[in-house]
Copies of this chain bind each other. A is one copy, B any other.
Amino acid sequence: MTHVRIVMVNTTLPANIGSALRAMKTMGLSQLVLVAPKTYPHPDIDALAAGAQDLVEKIKIVDTLEQAIQDCHIVFGTSARSRTIPWPLLDARPAAELSMDAVITRQQEIAIVFGREDRGLTNEELALANYHLTIPVNTDYGVLNVAQAIQVICYEMRMATLAQVQNDQASSDSQKMQVTEKIEMDWDEPLVNHQQMEEFYPHLEKMLVDIEFLDPQNPRLLPLRLRRLFGRAQLDRMEYHLLRGIFSRVQALSHGKWKKTALDKEEQSDV
């Protein structure tokens, strides 16, 4: 994503610049522009940007926000609160989708501008933006710091990029399989919880040992495979009791404690 730049205005803490670089690199962004940084260069930036040295070397330093965004087609100003007059406002997700569309279909340049640690962007700076960008947070406690906000927005940029790539590929190429699962919500029985399943697996394994299907001295991957299978299925209470009933019957059979007679109505009574 060479067409999307992150712009930080008057940043004070080197740690925030380092974190921004890490977040960017992780999500595939590469261009950071610093507008009149308070502390730059600083050894902490290199330390915190561990592994993102190539991005450190690409950092551009400019004096004014105007210089940082002059060649951009779409500028987003990040803002936690509403300003003097309403501005076109986008959440991080639609902002990222809009950006990726602009980059891919029109090769436009995008800037996402972040303000000072203590007071964000000024009204004048926000007025330079095409859109204001906000991250939907808990309104009782709306305090993402600048590093966290950059993290979230870079993540949305990556998600939007991946979505575009997936749209382009006609889903035929790879060896990956896609499984579409429909989960019906009005289930007739409650699902069992983790604790119950931790009684289920030992019972299943003991039964398999009893019929000598599982060698306790050399279980190989069998217990893990069964755990994966039933963990994926998420048993409900009825299924759970049914299966444990079956295990107990097989165990009784293997111990010679149960022999084929009439159907035991008791065990099936709840089905």
Measured CB to CB, the residues of A under 8 A from B are 22-23, 25-28, 51-52, 66, 69-75, 84-85, 87-88, 93, 98, 101, 105-106, 108-109, 127-130, 135-138, 141-145, 148, 151-152, 155, 158-159, 162, 175-187, 190-195, 198, 208, 210-215, 220-222, 224-235, 238-239, 242, 245-246, 249-250, 253-254, 260-264, 267-268, 271
Q: Which of B26, B75, B148 contacts A144 (CB 8 A)?
A: B26
Q: How far is the CA of A190 from the CA of B184 in the complex (A)?
A: 25
CB distance B224 to A239 under 8 Å?
A: no
Query: Contacts of A155 on B, CB cut-off 8 Å?
Result: 135, 152, 155
A263 to B231 CA separation, bound complex (whole angstroms) = 27
A93 and B155 alpha carbons, distance in the complex (Å): 11
Can you list 26 A-B contacts with CB-CB less than 8 angstroms, sorted by A residue number?
A25-B141, A26-B138, A28-B138, A66-B198, A70-B193, A72-B193, A73-B191, A73-B194, A101-B183, A136-B162, A137-B158, A138-B158, A151-B151, A152-B155, A176-B185, A176-B186, A179-B191, A180-B181, A180-B183, A212-B260, A213-B245, A213-B246, A213-B249, A213-B264, A213-B267, A254-B260
Given the complex of chains A and B, what is the CA–CA distance between A145 and B268 in angstroms?
A: 51
Please tell me if the beta carbons of B109 and A193 are within 8 angstroms of each other in the complex: yes
Chain B residues contacting A232 (CB-CB under 8 Å) are 88, 130, 233-234
A143 cross-chain contacts in B, Cβ below 8 A: 22, 26, 51
Nearest Cβ in chain B — how far from A112, in angstroms? 13
Please indicate the chain B residues that have their CB under 8 angstroms from the CB of A182 in the complex.
Answer: 178-181
Q: Given known contacts A73-B234, A148-B151, what 7 new A-B pairs fall within 8 Å (CB)?
A: A70-B194, A73-B194, A130-B232, A130-B234, A211-B246, A213-B249, A222-B268
B contact residues around A215 at 8 Å (CB):
263, 268
Give the complex CA separation of A93 and B186 in angstroms.
Answer: 23
Contact A148/B187 with A71-B194, A180-B181, A234-B73 known, Cβ cut-off 8 Å: no
Residues of B contacting A145 in the complex (Cβ-Cβ under 8 angstroms): 22
Known contacts A84-B224, A231-B129, A249-B213: does B151 contact A177 (CB below 8 Å)?
Answer: no
| CB-based contact B84/A221 at 8 Å | yes
One of B128, B187, B233 near A230 (C-beta < 8 A): B233
Asked if A26 meets B142 with Cβ closer than 8 Å, knowing A184-B178, A264-B212, the reply is yes
Docked complex Cα distance between A186 and B162 (Å): 17
Determine if B178 and A159 form an interchain contact, defined as CB atoms under 8 angstroms apart: no
Q: Is the CB of A194 within 8 A of B268?
A: no
Flag if B242 contacts A225 (CB, 8 Å). Answer: yes
Task: Find the residue from A23, A108, A135, A271 having the highest chain B CB count within 10 A.
Answer: A271
